[in-house]
Homo-oligomer: A and B are copies of this chain.
């Protein structure tokens, strides 16, 4: 099969790889219909040391089950399924708590002999626990929004859930990337009344307004904090969807005492400012990597009936062989989120 492999910063290739087969009896092989590039793929694209072996890329995909191991019960060939961005058994203590990202048997695509999602097929471990069947046809116009459940929408939702967004809330979302925009959509879905989106890319903030942002703040740093405070008097809940220290500082500067900052962007720092100032202000720092699997069933009906259309974050489709161009376009911020069709 053809699949996407990263060999180092800026070096993404599409090449021939062995066709996956079930290895364990709980595996399934999924023939990919749609995949995409994640904002988190751009961190190694910017900084990964060169290697000879390469790393299969992609952790967001949907497709059709092609073959199942002997112990797979709930799925069969021909089923259309979406994969959350990590696999999980859905039975361990963490999965039982809805924290599938910490599954005792879970793991990531592209590691440990498991294929990446940006290819023609994927061997999925713990298929029964991982994959969610989709009640639509393979040519459904909903596929982009269903694909968004694999990561970007369930991640935005995780930010809104962990920030405990509810009816009538005022929320700041820092970052106009696809996750930030989905966080806006998720906050609106949970009843937030006022949603301030901090971002300066006009096409993206326009989509953010469609998703429910009531205000857009283009200023950054101290100026941005001042603008949020001027607009809102300060906010109780912030979703930080970037991952840089600057974004965290904006979040901490704009939040009111007693408020919550939920992080969705993988931190690009090891140490952060959690000293006496944050302590005296009673700030809560929460969020993290989304347990996407836990949220798919909850969000699926809203995608199926059109209440939410997170697939709008995909603003360009690339054939699989052009995956390198998809990475380049996203890294240059010419494309918000690239959909890949094998």
Greatest chain B CB density within 10 A among A99, A102, A258 is at A258
Cα–Cα distance between A267 and B276 once the two chains are bound (Å): 5
Would you call A281 an interface residue if the criterion is a C-beta within 8 Å of the partner chain's C-beta atoms?
yes
Tell me the chain A residues, 244-291 only, with Cβ under 8 Å from chain B.
257-258, 263, 266-267, 269-276, 278-289, 291
Interchain CB contact under 8 A, B258 and A102: yes
Decide if A101 is an interface residue (CB 8 Å cutoff): yes
Determine which of B162, B282, B288 lies in contact with A289 in the assembled complex, contact meaning CB atoms within 8 Å.
B282
Q: List A residues 273-327 near B (Cβ within 8 Å).
A: 273-276, 278-289, 291
A283: chain B residues at CB < 8 Å are 288
Tell me the smallest distance from the CB of A236 to a CB of chain B, in Å.
9
Residues of B within 8 A of A99 (CB): 257-258, 282
Within the complex, the shortest CB–CB distance from A291 to chain B, in Å, comes to 8
Using A94-B258, A258-B94, A274-B272 as known contacts, say yes or no to A102 and B281 having CB atoms under 8 A apart.
yes
Does any Cβ of B come within 8 Å of A334's Cβ?
Answer: no
A275→B282 contact, CB < 8 A? no
Cβ contacts under 8 Å, A288 to chain B: 278-283
Provide the residues of chain B in CB contact with A276, threshold 8 Å. 266-267, 270
**With a CB–CB cut-off of 8 A, which chain B residues contact A94?**
257-258
Taking CB atoms and an 8 Å cut-off, the chain A residues in 187-201 that contact chain B are: none
Q: Would A273 and B270 count as touching, CB distance under 8 A?
A: yes
Does residue A97 face the partner (Cβ distance < 8 Å to B)?
A: yes
CB pair A279 B257 closer than 8 Å: no
A-B contact pairs, 12 of them (CB 8 A): A94-B258, A101-B280, A102-B281, A263-B279, A266-B280, A267-B275, A270-B273, A270-B275, A279-B289, A281-B288, A285-B285, A285-B286
Bound-state Cα–Cα, A97 to B291, Å: 31
Q: Are A266 and B282 in contact (CB under 8 A)?
A: no
| Known A-B contacts A288-B279, A288-B282; A97 and B258 likewise in contact (beta carbons under 8 Å) | yes
A284 and B285: CB pair below 8 A? Answer: yes
A162–B272 CA distance with the chains assembled, in angstroms: 21
Q: How far is the CA of A247 from the CA of B235 in the complex (A)?
A: 31
CB-CB under 8 A from A280, the residues of chain B are: 101, 266, 288-289
A291 to B258, CA, bound (A): 10
Q: Are B279 and A274 in contact (CB under 8 A)?
A: no
Q: Can you name the residue of chain B whose Cβ is closest to the Cβ of A263?
A: B279
Do A102 and B282 contact each other (CB < 8 Å), given the known contacts A94-B258, A97-B258, A257-B94? yes
Tell me which of B101, B102, B266, B285 contacts A274 (CB under 8 A): B285
Chain B residue nearest to A243 (CB atoms) is: B279
- Which residues of the other chain, B, contact A286 by a CB distance below 8 angstroms? 284-286
